[in-house]
Amino acid sequence: MNNSNNSSTILVAGATGYLGSEICRQLVSKNKMVKGLVRATSDSNKVARLKELGVEIVEGDLKNKASLENALHGVSAVISTVSSTLSRQEGDSIQTVDDEGQNNLVDAAINAGVSQFVYISFCELGECPLQTAKRKVEKHLAESGMNYTILQPTYFMEVWLSPVLGFDYPNAKATIFGEGKKKISWIAIKDVASFAVDSLDNPAAKNRKIELGGPEALSPLDVVNIFETTKGKKFELLFVPEEALKAQRDAAQDSLSASFSTLTLAVTHGSEIDMRSTLNDFPIRLTSVNDYAKS
């Protein structure tokens, strides 16, 4: 993987993240030449795992335009999963990373002669700073002249159906936002990675914006039922009223808190994605919540 001048090298930005590392794994399994963009301050264990996969590591930071020039040398396609939401470091914010940083990467890719750019965004989940930043990047990318694909997944099951966000399945407890009755097309991280990887060689992905969801729409209460059946335990439920979530959003002191509160509130409204036509173009076997509960 050391031939950085290979004309079909793919740069994955956000390579140490959950989604970025899975994209790297899938690309390597397809014998693609892969560069992983990491920061000098990235988790050394995660960087070591990427190297073990066979990913060529390049250092760069979306906030530093000059650092991106070297990273993009010899690169034909970029897949960007970068966001300030999970792995924040000093100087990171929605404005500096999700807005300015992503736009820096698009500009650097144009200047480097990159022919294709796959950007992981998200579907309509409510007006907030994070969504505003993503739509700005989408517009810039669509006007860039590069062959682009914008993927807009709904809620990741591994994040939103995890103990971190109150779905504490190991202890049979779940926080339910609102009444828990609106359906969501929960999607698995590895499936989003598969769509990103397939977008590189699939003509149906060219210059398109594609909403992504899982194989079925399920309400949070439906999800609890699946986990109760799978784990053989009755769950203890804590309901957070919609009014409390609105109050939390309105009281948010910074753009990240405001965005997270908005996304949480959007859970109460549901997010259904019809995948039938997309699956005709991308024959991917989608992971169900049932699969996730059994894993």
Helix (H, G, I), strand (E, B) or coil at 13: strand
pLDDT confidence of residue 125 = 87
Tally of domains within the chain: 1
CA-based nearest residue to 62, from 139, 167, 164, 137: 137
The CATH code of the domain that includes 110 is 3.40.50.720
Instruction: Flag whether pLDDT at 11 surpasses 50.
Output: yes
Which H or E run includes 216?
A: none
Let me know if residue 183 belongs to a domain.
no
Per-residue tokens: 172: 């049979």
Mean of pLDDT values over 41-53:
95
Instruction: Flag whether pLDDT at 4 surpasses 50.
Output: no
The tens digit of pLDDT for each residue in 147-204 reads 999 999 999 999 999 999 999 999 999 999 999 999 999 999 999 999 999 999 999 9
Let me know if residue 88 belongs to a domain.
yes
Q: What is the pTM of this model?
A: 0.94
Helix (H, G, I), strand (E, B) or coil at 83: coil
| Domain encompassing residue 32 | 9-153+189-212+272-285
pLDDT confidence of residue 86 = 61
Residue 109 sits at φ, ψ, to 5 deg, of: -65, -40
Let me know if residue 105 belongs to a domain.
yes
| Angle, in degrees to the nearest 10, between helices 100-111 and 129-142 | 10
The greatest distance separating any two alpha carbons of the chain, rounded to the nearest whole angstrom, comes to: 56
Let me know if residue 46 belongs to a domain.
yes
CA-based nearest residue to 151, from 181, 187, 99: 187
